[in-house]
Chains A and B, each alone.
Chain A
Amino acid sequence: MTLNQGGVLYKDFGEIKPPGIFFLYYGILKLFGKESIYIGLKFLALFTQVFSAFFFFKSGEILFDRKKGFYLSMFFLITLSLSYRFWPPNVMLLYFFPISLSLYFLSLSLKKDSLWRYFLSGLMMGLSFLISTNLFVFYLMIPLVSWKLKKNFKDFFSASFFGGIGFLIPLFGTCVYFWLNDALTDWYWWNVKWAEIYGGAYPIWLRIWKFFYGFILTWPLFPLYVHGIVSLKKIIQGKEYQNSNKVFLILVFFILSVCSRLLLSKGEPRYYLYLVPGFIFIAFHLNTVIKIRFVYLVSFLIMGAGFLYSFYFASQDVKAVFSKEKKEAVEWIKLNSKAEDKIFVWGEGLDYYYSTGRKMATSFFSPNQHLDYPYLWEQNGYQDIDYPWKQFLEEIEKDKPVYIIDYSGIQGDFNQERQKSRKQPLKYYMNRFKNFVYKHYEKTKNIGTIPFYLDIKALKKMLRNRLLIEDELFLESVYQNKKIKPDITEKEKERIKEIFENLGYIKIWKKKNS
């Protein structure tokens, strides 16, 4: 949207992700138009899956045989259907296409050595690097494979050099784009500095735990993991990689897949898409036919259960797409603002900016994550906190959005609940922002109510200091009565609803006329 409105990436829209995904989405927006963008994105996902499966088939044909390559590509497609968390066309799904081509070119160079193949393989790796930063590790495939294939240093060097040139071309093109738009510093901040801060927030033990925990979350892939590990053990024990260049490539591809996943700190199931190709190739290398039918049966049952679970869950998960409150807020903004107006959302604002079509004030679409994240800043010793906050305060004062939408929900105004964990200098910056809002804006609308089906005690804890004393006493009496008589009367329900309606779920602040 920012690009479509003539903005510059990272200067007008900041995010940790490298630029590739934004250019792709922008392309889809141009091709399909705003109304059909979701269809366009589905097509993008479909395109990625089909072409990646095809090039994995072609690579499998070289590394194994044609039939095995075909089964491998089919298995790849089935794997993607085993978890509904794999389905959205995010970076983890889109990187498959360039990486499958890259692997294909590298496999071709095993058949017949050519510098062009290294170059093309590097070029594809460069493209995948623009989609997801952690994929830079895949570049190591080129020097490692060429080192294995080449007899002398000169050949090894030229292969690595040509591959490196290919890898750097997309990066160079991007550099030129940012240089022409005077956004190199912004790009550096988001993709390097912020990536360092965000990526380094979790301690090592937590990262390791999350790495293994992710395997549990992606349980339908368990048979694949087991086959992969058994195959790995066999390759290492038999030192098969020493005699076979193909096995060497499979092993390197597998190790780098694991490394690319390890670079990320969270245990999100979608991150395990980084492991899928590596595991599939190494698992398909397992030549020993497992004689025990029971193993196949268990694998089939686990994967089948995963497929059915994903299917069921995805068909149920409709409410998460767009809440009633969000829809109301969007309609209200559209009615009460002009097309060229700027708005600002405290919380995750992408849906609002996209659905209202109003410009985003500041370059921060997710202040909860990019600015007001006490845990992250504390882990980093508040290093570099001044840069984004100064930038943000400057931008918001300059942009003066017509509305500020506070999407903190039950967390209070601008995540009041976080106040106790905000320490200096985060507290100072947060207060400066709040002072700016209180001075120039007034609360004009509350949308939605806090879901009162939640446990009253938990709500009371959440809302302390923000309730009138009589409301608090009323809630307390309801809570005490609930212990004796579990049902809440209609009258009590009405009163609770009224209390929460006054607090509001989505709060809209309007710029004062001055």
Chain B
Amino acid sequence: METKKLDRWTSYLLRNDLKVFAFILFSTFFLKLVYLLGSPIWRVAIFRGQ
């Protein structure tokens, strides 16, 4: 069931290159965001009030 859903979703995404490109861009941002949220910049800003 889950595989079917994933397949349907992937087929929709793969309809044109622009969608794929947008998804790649989003994924890269997301992966960077995960890091950024844990990065010292935020910790320093939030917890040390600097």
Binding site for B on A (CB under 8 A): 46, 49-50, 53-54, 57-58, 66-67, 70, 73-74, 77-78, 80-81, 87, 311-312, 314-316, 318
Measured in the bound complex, the distance between the Cα atoms of B38 and A316 in whole Å is: 9
The B32-50 residues at the A interface (CB cut-off 8 A) are 32, 34-35, 38-40, 43-44
Decide yes or no: A315 and B39 within 8 Å by CB, A46-B28, A70-B13, A70-B14 being known contacts. yes
Minimum distance in angstroms from A353 CB to a CB of chain B: 25
Q: Are B10 and A67 in contact (CB under 8 A)?
A: yes
The B10-32 residues at the A interface (CB cut-off 8 A) are 10-11, 13-14, 17, 20-21, 24-25, 27-29, 31-32
Measured in the bound complex, the distance between the Cα atoms of B43 and A316 in whole Å is: 10
Please list 5 pairs of residues, one from A and one from B, whose beta carbons are closer than 8 Å in the complex, sorted by A's number.
A46-B29, A50-B25, A67-B10, A74-B27, A315-B43
Q: Are B24 and A73 in contact (CB under 8 A)?
A: yes
Contact pattern, B 2-13, Cβ under 8 Å of A = 1, otherwise 0? 000000001101
The 4 closest A-B pairs by CB, nearest first: A318-B40, A315-B38, A53-B24, A81-B31
Q: Are A311 and B35 in contact (CB under 8 A)?
A: yes
Query: Which of A58, A77, A311, A312 is in CB contact (< 8 Å) with B28?
Result: A77
Residues of A with C-beta under 8 A to B21: 50, 54
B interface secondary structure, majority: helix
Q: How many residues of B contact A (CB 8 A)?
A: 21
User: Taking CB as reference atom, which chain B residue is nearest A52?
Assistant: B24
Measured in the bound complex, the distance between the Cα atoms of B37 and A39 in whole Å is: 16
Residues of A with C-beta under 8 A to B14: 66-67, 70
User: Taking CB as reference atom, which chain B residue is nearest A84?
Assistant: B35
Q: Are A57 and B39 in contact (CB under 8 A)?
A: no
Q: Are B38 and A70 in contact (CB under 8 A)?
A: no
Minimum distance in angstroms from A218 CB to a CB of chain B: 18
Decide yes or no: A70 and B25 within 8 Å by CB, A46-B32, A311-B34 being known contacts. no
With A46-B32, A70-B20, A78-B31 already in contact, 19 other A-B pairs whose C-beta atoms are closer than 8 Å: A46-B28, A46-B29, A50-B21, A50-B24, A53-B27, A54-B17, A54-B20, A54-B24, A70-B10, A70-B13, A73-B20, A74-B24, A74-B27, A77-B28, A81-B35, A314-B39, A316-B40, A318-B40, A318-B44
Minimum distance in angstroms from A141 CB to a CB of chain B: 24
Minimum distance in angstroms from B45 CB to a CB of chain A: 12
Residues of A with C-beta under 8 A to B43: 315
Minimum distance in angstroms from A178 CB to a CB of chain B: 35
Residues of A with C-beta under 8 A to B24: 50, 53-54, 57, 73-74, 77
Residues of B with C-beta under 8 A to A316: 40
Query: Which of A58, A77, A78, A311 is in CB contact (< 8 Å) with B38?
Result: A311
Decide yes or no: A314 and B27 within 8 Å by CB, A67-B10, A70-B14, A70-B20 being known contacts. no
Measured in the bound complex, the distance between the Cα atoms of B44 and A335 in whole Å is: 28
Residues of A with C-beta under 8 A to B34: 81, 311
Minimum distance in angstroms from B38 CB to a CB of chain A: 4
Q: Are A49 and B28 in contact (CB under 8 A)?
A: yes
Minimum distance in angstroms from B13 CB to a CB of chain A: 7
Minimum distance in angstroms from B18 CB to a CB of chain A: 10
The listed residue with most A CB atoms (<10 A of its CB), out of B13, B17, B24, is: B24
User: Taking CB as reference atom, which chain A residue is nearest B25?
Assistant: A50
Query: Which of A49, A311, A315 is in CB contact (< 8 Å) with B40?
Result: A315
Residues of A with C-beta under 8 A to B39: 314-315
